[in-house]
Structure 1
Amino acid sequence: MTLASAFELPNVGAGPDPLSLTELAETNEFVLLLLQRDFHCGNCRKQVQVFGDWYDEFRDRNTEIVSIVPEPRDRIQSWQAEYDLPYPLCADPEATVGGDYDQPVRFGPLGKFSDLLGRMPKAVLLDCRGDEPDIVYTHEGSSTWDRPELQEVFDAIDEQR
């Protein structure tokens, strides 16, 4: 198992602001990180809404969802205003968490310069039942559309339980 990198980020969604992984790990068996591409990504917007619609299923599995967008706080506040997500929505303008969790970036230096061109989505499931959160599942997107199906994520959680 790989230990998860701790973080603390501004949160415009449900839960404390700022939001820290350490605090989440104390109150949840699992944490699902949804590392988004950017503010403009239509597939990211769809994903946060779908996972929001199924939030109760995640809570039944003692799992908290955290969506992390590599944008400034003021920009992603409009997502929360529009979608009223029941889980944390965090701003990571420097894409620090994406870097710590090896979020894929295509097109070399050009991709690093522009998240719109290079950053791919990633989902990371953390098992928080031990002393430190461990990474137990990842889904690395190879395109803007490549995201895990809900059942795939539920199966990953259920396998760990």
Structure 2
Amino acid sequence: MSRVSDFSLTNVAAGPDPFTLSELDDDVAFVVLFFQRDHYCTNCRSQVQDLADRIEAFHERDAEVVSIVPEPGDRVEEWQSRYELPYPLLADPDASVGDDYDQPVRFGILGAFSDFFGRMPAAVIVDRRGDEPVVAATHRGRSTFDRPDIDELLAELDELRSA
């Protein structure tokens, strides 16, 4: 398990704005960070809606869902006005938090030049129960379709809770 990089980003949905990982309430044992590909990604848009539909299952496990989009706040606000997400939706315009958490980038120099061509989805479970938060599990997508199933993530949270 690796240590967690703290961050503070603009939040356009539920929760505090700005959203700062270290300032979450103590009763949040886990944070599930979903690093989205970009504003235009239809798979990302489906995922955030699916997460909204299952938010109570995460909350029952003392987990907070957070989606991070490597776009400016105004673009991310479009998602919120359209989907009314009940969890934090963060703008990471320079993709610095995605970089800190090793969000995969493909297509070499072209991918490094443009997130549209290269940034892949990722999911990271942060365990906040110890003295210092740690990364407890990570899924790094190899394509825009390569995302963990919500039931798999909930099972992973159940496993972490019982350990």
Q: TM-score under structure 2 normalisation?
A: 0.97
Gaps of 5+ in 1: none
1:45-104 deviation digits (Å, cap 9, x = unpaired): 000000110000000001000000000001110100100000000000000110000000
Paired residues for 1:12-161 under 5 Å: 12-24=12-24, 26-161=26-161
Partner SS for 2:155: helix
Contact persistence 1:139–1:148 (CA under 8 A): yes
Match of 2:7 in 1: 7
Partner SS for 1:77: helix
Q: 1:130 to 1:43 in 2, by over 3 A?
A: same
State the shift of 1:25 in Å.
Answer: 6.0
Q: 1:141 to 1:25 in 2, by over 3 A?
A: farther
Paired with 2:49 and 2:17, the residues of 1 have a C-alpha distance of 21
Paired with 2:13 and 2:77, the residues of 1 have a C-alpha distance of 8
Number of matched residues? 161
Contact persistence 1:61–1:157 (CA under 8 A): yes
Regions of 4+ moved over 6 Å? none
Paired with 1:25 and 1:147, the residues of 2 have a C-alpha distance of 28
Gaps of 5+ in 2: none
Contact persistence 1:24–1:31 (CA under 8 A): no
Two-structure CA RMSD over aligned residues (Å): 0.8
Percent identity between the two aligned chains: 57
Decide which moves more: 20-29 or 54-63.
Answer: 20-29
Paired with 2:141 and 2:25, the residues of 1 have a C-alpha distance of 25
Contact persistence 1:25–1:133 (CA under 8 A): no
Partner SS for 1:26: coil
Paired with 2:74 and 2:27, the residues of 1 have a C-alpha distance of 28
Paired with 2:71 and 2:27, the residues of 1 have a C-alpha distance of 27
Q: TM-score under structure 1 normalisation?
A: 0.98
* Residue identity opposite 2:36 in structure 1: Q
1:17-39 deviation digits (Å, cap 9, x = unpaired): 00000012634000000000100
